[in-house]
Amino acid sequence: MKISTQLMVEPGHKARLRDRDPEAPPGIKGKAAAEKTLEKNMTRLEELQYLLYAESKRAVLIVFQAMDAGGKDGTIRHVMSALNPQGCSVTPFKVPTAEEAKHDFLWRIHKAAPRLGEFAIFNRSHYEDVLVVRVHNLVPKSTWAKRYDHINSFEKLLAESQVTIFKFFLHVSKDEQKERFQNRLEDPIRQWKLSSADFAERDYWDDYIKAYEDALTLCSTPWAPWYVIPANKKWFRNLAVSQILVEALENLDMKFPPPSLDVSKVRLK
């Protein structure tokens, strides 16, 4: 079975995270083989981005969500380094600024959507508005509960505007998060990444899982599917993300535009 089929949350089906193993699936050959395939995928991704840019008829949006230390930054640093920075934007979504908070929750998101020919990568996204916002009751339930429909409509608008959408939930276990926090605590060049809020959020782990399960269930659509990426092993995570992107972008059947002049008639002096 293709990795994308295996890891996609089938639209209309319940996304139960406890039934999805954060470890690399059995039958995958292992780290060394995965890294070779990753390298090939990244070369292909670079070519596909070039083609997308040349064609300029569509765009790509890649959303990353995860628990703290789930690997969003690492995935962007590794896999997305295949992309030419010219033609690619990365937007991290933090606590809304005073200005952002005065608008509807999709306002800041829509501004960061990709132009035709380009990739946009979201490090966190509009999903925070049904995750952290829900877990900490930052708005009443009557407000966040309506957002799943708003999100689906918004993503449909993008999809119908030629944006191919990928949404990756990097799935790590609570133990793996602990180990990563521990490693950061012990590593002087990574201590800056830690905040006391990260540790406090661990207490809400189960609430986050519930909020994620609803977001994955209600917002995995044919036009913007969610993928749950087993992310305890970074090498598998990177392989899976790159593989899903390459397979889907190959299927777009993009073409270089024909030259605007008859190249056989050009004589350079």
How many helices and strands in the chain, by DSSP H and E? 12, 5
- Give whichever of 129 and 214 is closer to ligand AMP, judged by the CB atom: 129
At 104, phi and psi to the nearest 5? -65, 160
Segment interacting with ligand AMP, rule: CB under 6 A, options 8-16, 81-89, 122-130, 217-225: 122-130
- Give whichever of 200 and 266 is closer to ligand AMP, judged by the CB atom: 200
Segment interacting with ligand AMP, rule: CB under 6 A, options 90-98, 155-163, 238-246, 248-256: 90-98
**CA 14, CA 256: separation in Å to the nearest integer?**
40
Segment interacting with ligand AMP, rule: CB under 6 A, options 37-45, 56-64, 80-88, 123-131: 123-131
Q: For the beta carbon of residue 104, count every other beta carbon within 10 angstroms.
A: 12
Kindly give, in sequence order, each residue whose CB lies less than 8 Å from that of residue 91, ignoring residues fewer than 6 positions away: 112, 120, 121, 122, 123
Q: What is the CA radius of gyration of the chain?
A: 20
**CA 55, CA 57: separation in Å to the nearest integer?**
5
Q: How many residues bind ligand AMP (CB under 6 A)?
A: 10
Question: In this chain, which residue has its C-beta nearest to ligand AMP?
Answer: 128
Binding of residue 133 to ligand AMP (CB under 6 A) = yes
Tokens 């306002």 sit on residue: 107
CB 86, min distance to ligand AMP, A: 25
Segment interacting with Mg ion, rule: CB under 5 A, options 9-17, 60-68, 87-95, 109-117: 60-68
- Give whichever of 41 and 122 is closer to ligand AMP, judged by the CB atom: 122
Q: Are 89 and 61 in contact (CB under 8 A)?
A: no
CB 185, min distance to ligand AMP, A: 16
Binding of residue 176 to ligand AMP (CB under 6 A) = no
Binding of residue 32 to ligand AMP (CB under 6 A) = no
Among 45, 109, 129, 246, binds ligand AMP (CB under 6 A): 129
Binding of residue 132 to ligand AMP (CB under 6 A) = yes
Q: For the beta carbon of residue 75, count every other beta carbon within 10 angstroms.
A: 25
CA distances from residue 74 to 131, 152, 154, 249, 265 in whole angstroms, order as listed: 21, 28, 28, 22, 49
Residues binding ligand AMP (CB under 6 A):
92-96, 124, 128-129, 132-133
Residues binding Mg ion (CB under 5 A):
68
